[in-house]
Structures are given as structure tokens and as C-alpha cells.
Amino acid sequence: MTAVKEFQVTFDCADPERVGRFWCAALGYVPPPTPEGFATWDDYQRSLPPEERGSWFACTDPTGRGPRFYFQRVPEGKIVKNRLHLDVRAGTGLVGEERLAALEAECARLVPLGATRVRLLPADEENESCLVMQDVEGNEFCLD
């Protein structure tokens, strides 16, 4: 059986660059290099037909360990809760008050970038605490 070596996470969204730049800032990801023959991404966008401008954005983990993120414009808006979400591992290995402090610190960093705090899921007998949040277009993610 062949193992999958790479995968990409794709977001449907209204404003691909806005959502993509949020995730770049949240995760330390970077946009791809400017396409060959163009001095800037703005130059590249201006070369496209108007209906294709701003239709996608991508970013990658500069260390090469994480998946590529791809953001594509879709006509419909988000209506219901995500069936899949990202867990941003901000408190790995921490427990109790130390974990809560790490989650709160990351939340405080992300809110000025456009994230919204939704609710704290407190620790129970099976799981440590996590913070449910939303990105700039309302896509849920957890600080875990």
C-alpha cells in the first residue's frame, strides 16, 4: 500500500488573501515566491482577467514540515459549523493553570490579527482545556 507523503489543507472563503494572511501570521507560514516574470504579487494579479484576480492565495510552512494551505474564493458564504477544523497546538505538554495561561497568551496574540474568541472548553477527566476560536471569516479552530 502506498503512503501519502504530502497533503494540502484547502479553505473555501470570500477573501482568500485576507484569510491566508491571517493564517500566515497565526502559524508563521509564508506566501509563495512571486511568480516568475513579475516583480510583485500585485503585478501578477493585474495581469489576470478581472474575474480571476484575488481568487486564490497560498502559504507554506517555511520549515517544510507542515502542509501547504490553499485559500480559494467561492461564491457562497459560510453557513454552518465546520465539519473539519484545525487544532493550533499552543499548549502541548502543559496542564492546568500553565496550559490555560499559554492558551490565553496565544488567544491574546491572535485576536488583534482578526481572530474571535468563542469559548473555553475546560479540562475534564479525559481532555485538557482548549479554546475554541474563529478566524477572520468565521472558520472555527481550537487553541489546543
Domain count of the fold of the chain? 2
What value does the mean pLDDT of the chain take? 93
Do 92 and 66 lie in one domain? The reply is: no
Could you tell me the residue range of the domain that residue 53 belongs to?
8-73
Neighbours of 25 (CB within 10 A): 16
Given a cut of 90, whether residue 91 has pLDDT beyond it is: yes
pLDDT (mean) for 53-60? 95
**Distance of alpha carbon 106 from alpha carbon 85, whole angstroms:** 17
pTM, entire model: 0.89
Do 61 and 93 lie in one domain? The reply is: no
> Does some domain include residue 63?
yes
Do 94 and 63 lie in one domain? The reply is: no
pLDDT (tens digit per residue) in 94-130: 999 999 999 999 999 999 999 999 999 998 988 899 9
β-pair partners for 57: 71
- Domain boundary (48, 73, 98) is at 73
In 3D, which of 1, 18, 8, 32 has the Cα closest to residue 138? 18
Percent of the chain, pLDDT > 90? 82
pLDDT (tens digit per residue) in 63-83: 999 999 999 999 888 788 777
**Distance of alpha carbon 101 from alpha carbon 86, whole angstroms:** 20
